[in-house]
């Protein structure tokens, strides 16, 4: 599983979060889309992370990445402060209220990939400026599989650039509200058709606690989300989903539709662990055996 032809490159935010939910609050804890997705992917395949942090980024966070075997040689440490996001969730775990987004050293982040990183066959472009996502794609040699995530901010602010990204990816990831916003369609099936018409082979639409849909031109898969009793902190669920999905695909080298279904279920499984605790605490304590056990439960509850 650790051959050089299943390496996953992940580019995105690495940050510190202050999060408040009905179950408590935390401050300046590890966050960022690349942190969640890289740790999630690392359960399945070797991961290289590309990002930037400031001098205030705690040593223990670096140690977590290292303990998961993540290659952080392209995680820059710059003078200044780390990207900081403050958010709050009420009773609805799908609705984050953002209180602060301080880009700090992330403001002039320009990903420059070392040569070995350009040869990685699997790529996950986490939610960052689509112009940067394009710069990363321009540096890649010939990736086999590229997944990209986005958010409402870029759909409103940089739609043309985002469409250029979508033309070049294998899998487009977004949540239901973003799919509707991007396409102007109310029905998700129509929204998915519009996104597929831009070029990606697959589009995965995340519906929070209602699961995920996977569309291709000639197939549709609907996965439930794993029913957990207590969502302590929903932060990073989407990123954990994406990381595990791409990591699983990389570990199997098979992006055909039947295996994409399994990847979606692995993504949902790892996301269901993520939300059981704040920050990356649950992912840090997770094992591949626990993932497999919950994956089997998932198979049973979705079978008919």
Nearer to ligand AMP among residue 6 and residue 128 (C-beta): 128
Interaction site with ligand AMP (CB under 6 A): 13, 15, 17, 31-33, 85, 101, 127-128, 153, 235-239
Nearer to ligand AMP among residue 200 and residue 208 (C-beta): 208
Minimum distance, C-beta of residue 286 to ligand AMP, in the bound complex (Å): 17
Minimum distance, C-beta of residue 101 to ligand AMP, in the bound complex (Å): 5
Backbone angles phi, psi at 120, to 5 degrees: -65, 135
Minimum distance, C-beta of residue 265 to ligand AMP, in the bound complex (Å): 18
Minimum distance, C-beta of residue 239 to ligand AMP, in the bound complex (Å): 4
Minimum distance, C-beta of residue 267 to ligand AMP, in the bound complex (Å): 12
Nearer to ligand AMP among residue 130 and residue 238 (C-beta): 238
Nearer to ligand AMP among residue 29 and residue 214 (C-beta): 29
Q: Which residue is nearest to ligand AMP (CB)?
A: 31
Nearer to ligand AMP among residue 104 and residue 127 (C-beta): 127
């Amino acid at each position: 599983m650790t051959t050089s032809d299943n390496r996953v490159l992940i580019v995105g935010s690495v940050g510190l979060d202050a999060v408040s939910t009905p179950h408590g609050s935390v401050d300046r804890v590890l966050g960022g889309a690349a942190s969640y997705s890289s740790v999630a992917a690392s359960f399945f395949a070797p991961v290289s992370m590309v990002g930037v942090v400031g001098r205030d980024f705690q040593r223990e966070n670096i140690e977590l990445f290292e303990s998961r075997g993540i290659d952080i040689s392209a995680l820059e440490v710059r003078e200044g402060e780390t990207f900081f996001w403050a958010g709050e969730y009420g009773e609805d775990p799908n609705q984050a209220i953002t209180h602060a987004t301080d880009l700090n050293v992330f403001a002039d982040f320009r990903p420059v990939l070392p040569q070995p990183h350009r040869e990685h066959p699997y790529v996950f472009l986490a939610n960052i400026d689509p112009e940067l996502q394009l710069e990363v794609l321009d540096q890649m040699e010939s990736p086999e599989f590229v997944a990209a995530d986005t958010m409402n901010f870029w759909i409103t602010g940089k739609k043309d650039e985002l469409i250029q990204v979508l033309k070049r990816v294998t899998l487009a990831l977004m949540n239901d509200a973003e799919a509707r916003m991007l396409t102007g369609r109310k029905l998700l099936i129509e929204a998915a058709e519009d996104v597929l018409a831009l070029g990606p082979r697959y589009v995965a639409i995340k519906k929070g606690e209602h699961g995920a849909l996977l569309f291709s031109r000639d197939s549709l898969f609907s996965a439930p989300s794993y029913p957990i009793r207590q969502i302590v902190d929903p932060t990073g669920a989407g990123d954990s989903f994406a990381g595990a999905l791409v990591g699983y695909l990389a570990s199997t080298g098979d992006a055909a539709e039947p295996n994409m279904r399994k990847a979606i279920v692995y993504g949902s499984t790892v996301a269901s662990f993520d939300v059981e605790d704040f920050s990356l605490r649950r992912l840090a304590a997770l094992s591949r055996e626990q993932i497999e056990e919950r994956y089997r439960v998932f198979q049973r509850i979705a079978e008919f």
